[in-house]
């Protein structure tokens, strides 16, 4: 067996199940689960209709590169959303089976562990656990960059030692961030691009929350590159998905776009990896990428929940409206895991301890003392959970 499997950490939700073992929640209260970032809004009818209308495609082997229609739809969306025009749909866009699969596979294709020095993969901290697992299984060393409140919950690139940059082959960024909802600025991107030019590492930009925002649409990585005159997207690949945008997590559909040189090698890897998307899913994905009305409606539903929940939670906890995503990143008194366990016991509300989403690095766990609240349940349930959370927090003051 691959010895690197022993390096993997338990997934946050496995740790949460263990935390709750033996805990009997208040039976008089209806359970509200706000721990998992799984969209609960209705899947758009136009997507399900396109899916069922194209089931005949199941009789065909799909191409790893995906259909031209799907790559064209992705290009149209990139043009509408980010003003990116003239993309080469043969070389700069590649459909994937959701961002999770693609992020993992991308690391395996990019990392070269054959040298004398162990390669480094830099990750934000807290982070989406796939970043870490993919790096470990590729034979790389994860290096965690703490995302703290005094840094706008953004990585401090200047804190990375030169000797670490010299071994770095891949940098993960997540903007809008999970769990903080923080968005990279153009200056943040410029700093990272300059480091990439100097040290030669590839940037994997995870942007799966880009369409759930409160005010202004978040800046994307390719958009930042084009704004700065980097039209070849050198060493940059963005990852996006329909899961959150279109409420279709079960479809496992997204795409990557960026540096044609990097994507050429990634396509080669995926050809052997066996990760082609079903033709029916491709057709449904075209329908989803070509429609914005359902996305605007989806965004409004989240806006209503943020408007209703955030000021209530703020009565008892240090929390503010995020720039984007569907999470609240709330600071709690004392131990975050203990807070989550007792909240579950007393109020039958499930949230995720922030420390479960991070690692101890540079003398601190940047998730410690926080909880992640996923506003995925219906509005009424989110409101009820917020009231119960405040009651619980005040009882511990």
Note whether 37 and 52 are same-domain residues.
Answer: no
pLDDT at residue number 284: 98
Q: How confident is the model at residue 222 (pLDDT cuts 50, 70, 90)?
A: very high
Note whether 232 and 300 are same-domain residues.
Answer: no
Q: How confident is the model at residue 143 (pLDDT cuts 50, 70, 90)?
A: very high
Identify the three-state secondary structure at position 169.
strand
Q: How confident is the model at residue 130 (pLDDT cuts 50, 70, 90)?
A: very high
Identify the three-state secondary structure at position 389.
helix
List Cβ neighbours of 23 (8 Å cut-off, separation of 6 or more): 341, 344, 345
Average pLDDT over residues 263-281: 96
Mean pLDDT of the chain: 97
pLDDT at residue number 188: 98
pLDDT at residue number 110: 98
Note whether 33 and 73 are same-domain residues.
Answer: no
pLDDT at residue number 117: 96
The rounded distance, in Å, linking the Cα atoms of 306 and 327 is: 9
In the chain, % of residues over pLDDT 70: 100
Note whether 84 and 150 are same-domain residues.
Answer: yes
**Domain containing residue 64:** 45-291
Write out pLDDT tens, residues 307-353: 999 999 999 999 999 999 999 999 999 999 999 999 999 999 999 99
What DSSP letter does each residue of 254-276 carry, written as one string?
Answer: EEEEE-HHHHHHHHHHHHHHT-P
Q: What is the CATH number of the domain that holds 157?
A: 3.40.640.10
Closest CA to 149 of 309, 370, 357: 370
The rounded distance, in Å, linking the Cα atoms of 182 and 176 is: 5
* Domain boundary pick from 238, 262, 291: 291
Note whether 50 and 31 are same-domain residues.
Answer: no
pLDDT at residue number 274: 86
- pLDDT beyond 80 at 359: yes
Average pLDDT over residues 156-177: 98
Note whether 112 and 247 are same-domain residues.
Answer: yes
Note whether 201 and 65 are same-domain residues.
Answer: yes
User: How many secondary structure helices (H) and strands (E) does the chain include?
Assistant: 14, 12
- pLDDT beyond 80 at 38: yes
Average pLDDT over residues 77-94: 98
Write out pLDDT tens, residues 57-72: 999 999 999 999 999 9
Note whether 70 and 104 are same-domain residues.
Answer: yes
Closest CA to 120 of 79, 71, 160: 160
Note whether 122 and 153 are same-domain residues.
Answer: yes
Report the alpha-carbon angle 362-367-372, nearest 5.
165
Average pLDDT over residues 129-155: 98
The rounded distance, in Å, linking the Cα atoms of 9 and 19 is: 15
Note whether 124 and 82 are same-domain residues.
Answer: yes
Under a CB-based contact definition with an 8 Å cutoff, are residues 251 and 280 in contact? Answer: no
pLDDT at residue number 138: 98
Average pLDDT over residues 355-367: 98
Note whether 86 and 221 are same-domain residues.
Answer: yes
Note whether 220 and 78 are same-domain residues.
Answer: yes
Q: What is the CATH number of the domain that holds 316?
A: 3.90.1150.10
- pLDDT beyond 90 at 397: no
């Amino acid at each position: 067996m691959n010895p690197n499997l022993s390096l993997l950490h338990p997934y946050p939700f496995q740790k949460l199940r263990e935390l709750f073992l033996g805990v009997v929640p208040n039976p008089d209260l209806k359970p509200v689960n706000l721990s998992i970032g799984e969209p609960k809004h209705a899947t758009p009818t136009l997507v399900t209709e396109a899916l069922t209308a194209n089931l005949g495609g199941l009789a065909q082997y799909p191409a790893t590169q995906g259909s031209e229609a799907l790559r064209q739809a992705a290009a149209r969306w990139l043009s509408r959303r980010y003003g990116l025009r003239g993309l080469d749909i043969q070389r700069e866009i590649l459909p994937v089976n959701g961002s999770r699969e693609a992020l993992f596979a991308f690391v395996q294709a990019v990392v070269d562990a054959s040298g004398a020095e162990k390669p480094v993969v830099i990750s934000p901290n807290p982070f989406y656990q796939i970043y870490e697992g993919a790096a470990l299984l590729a034979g790389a060393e994860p290096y965690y960059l703490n995302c703290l409140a005094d840094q706008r919950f953004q990585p401090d690139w200047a804190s990375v030692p030169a000797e670490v940059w010299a071994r770095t082959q891949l940098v993960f960024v997540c903007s809008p961030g999970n769990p903080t909802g923080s968005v990279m600025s153009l200056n943040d991107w410029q700093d990272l691009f300059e480091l990439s030019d100097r040290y030669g590492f590839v940037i994997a930009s995870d942007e799966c929350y880009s369409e759930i925002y409160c005010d202004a649409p978040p800046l994307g990585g390719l958009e930042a590159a084009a704004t700065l005159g980097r039209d070849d997207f050198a060493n940059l690949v963005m990852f996006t998905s329909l899961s959150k945008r279109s409420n279709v997590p079960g479809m496992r559909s997204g795409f990557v776009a960026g540096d044609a040189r990097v994507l050429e090698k990634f396509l080669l890897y995926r050809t052997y990896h066996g990760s082609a998307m079903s033709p029916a899913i491709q057709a449904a994905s075209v329908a989803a990428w070509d429609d914005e009305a359902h996305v605007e409606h989806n965004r409004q539903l989240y806006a209503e929940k943020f408007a209703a929940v955030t000021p209530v939670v703020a009565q008892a906890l240090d929390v503010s409206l995020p720039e984007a995503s569907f999470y609240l990143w709330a600071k709690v008194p004392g131990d975050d895991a203990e807070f989550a366990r007792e909240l579950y016991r007393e109020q039958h509300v499930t949230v995720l301890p922030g420390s479960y989403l991070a690692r101890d690095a540079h003398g601190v766990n940047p998730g410690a003392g926080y909880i992640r609240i996923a506003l995925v349940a219906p509005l009424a349930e989110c409101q009820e959970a917020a009231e119960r959370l405040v009651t619980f927090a005040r009882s511990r003051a």
